[in-house]
Amino acid sequence: MWRLALRDLQWRRRRFVISIVSTSLVFTVALILAGVAGSFGTEAQRAIQSFGADAWVVHSGTPGPFSSGLPIPESEVGQLVHVPGVVATGGLIYGLQSIGSESHPTNVNLFGVSPGRLGDPSPTQGRRPTQLDEAVTDDSLPYAVGGHFLLGGRPFAVVGRVHDSTLLAGTPNVFVTLRAAQQLIFQGQPEVTAILAKGVPRQSVSGYRVLSLGDVHADMTRALAKAQQVVTFIELFLWLIAASIIGSVIYISALEKNRDFAVLKATGSSNRQLMSSLALQAVVISLGAAAVAGVFASLMVPTFPLVVTIPPWSMMALPVLAVGMGLLASVAGLRRVNAVQPATAFGGP
């Protein structure tokens, strides 16, 4: 029966090629959406690692430094280093800002860090900011080292650039000195929004909450929770579309071969053999579409405006899921085979 299935695929090759290409486009979008959803966590993890801290300290009662900007006196940064388990500290200020002109603003994540202390970025080009009018930017922004931009109505010179430093679905990060951020956000008051700690405090800090890196990651990605749910919903919808394409092709194939199935049954072929031939066609379409989708997705990922990270398990699971969906979608066609009566072979045209 496998030879019958392959011969049928050859005879109707144009239809099956169109089916494979159509299904592969749906699979491609599903893969890219999985990569988009995965990139939310990936960029947050990358940002956390770049700060080099083992724990973050914020005001008690606040979920985290990215959900609440409740200020902390800068003097607490130096006091925290005396807590058992802590070997180094650094103040941090975070805020959403826009840079560029009023007519063409660009949203950025602004970070204020202490030069030479914990949290100070390591640029891939140039050097760290040390002056009030200096900044390090993500290389997705159109500012080379030596360029200038406006932030809060003040000019800043780009002295360094970092690679893949983004948050909130591709929003680029900009780093300035702690003093510059205080002037922009706290009108010059000596305050910070979080304290970075190298080493984990072994005792509680009165009035403050110690966040693990997992807590910080959850706080970074909380704003994108609804977006992730939407992406997941669309992924499921795309799988249903792919199953519908495969199912319709197999069902139409079964309808067209009613007489052929009747003849085969009359000559001794079993329902199981005929149903296996249709199932094999569904598997071929599914695997072909999965292979083409893997190529399409790899070509399209670099063209997206944010870093899309397709999880390796998605690529490996796609053929398995595709085959499962293909077999499930072919049920209507398989039932049609079961309903064909051998006597039909001896009827009129």
Give Cα separations from 280 to 2, 9, 248, 254, 255 (angstroms): 7, 10, 15, 13, 17
Distance between CA 83 and CA 86 in Å, rounded? 6
Torsion angle of C-alpha atoms 222, 225, 227, 228, degrees rounded to 10: 120
Give the model confidence (pLDDT) of 164-219 as tens digits: 888 888 899 999 999 999 999 998 999 999 999 999 998 888 889 999 999 999 99
Give the model confidence (pLDDT) of 266-306 as tens digits: 666 666 666 677 677 777 788 888 889 888 988 888 887 77
336: left (phi over 0), alpha (psi -120 to 50) or beta: alpha
260: CB partners within 8 A, 6+ apart: none
Whether the Cβ atoms of residue 200 and residue 54 lie closer than 8 Å to each other: yes
Alpha helices in the chain (DSSP H): 2-11, 13-51, 75-80, 178-185, 213-221, 225-256, 258-266, 271-300, 312-329, 331-339
Q: What is the mean pLDDT of residues 9-21?
A: 74
Give the model confidence (pLDDT) of 130-166 as tens digits: 999 999 999 989 999 999 999 988 999 999 999 988 8
Whether the Cβ atoms of residue 53 and residue 80 lie closer than 8 Å to each other: no
177 forms bridges with which residues in the sheet? 113
240: CB partners within 8 A, 6+ apart: none
Strands 208-211 vs 55-59: parallel, antiparallel or unpaired: antiparallel
The structure tokens listed for 331 are 């049920």
Whether the Cβ atoms of residue 80 and residue 86 lie closer than 8 Å to each other: yes
- Please give the pLDDT value at position 285: 80
Least confident of 3-12, 27-36, 72-81, 317-326: 3-12
Query: Over the chain, what is the mean pLDDT?
Result: 82
Q: Above 60 in pLDDT, residue 249?
A: yes
Closest CA to 77 of 228, 212, 192, 199: 192
Q: Above 60 in pLDDT, residue 2?
A: no
- Please give the pLDDT value at position 89: 93
**Buried/exposed 227-246: b ≥16 CB within 10 Å, e otherwise:** ebeebeeebeebbeebbebb
Q: What is the mean pLDDT of residues 20-44?
A: 85
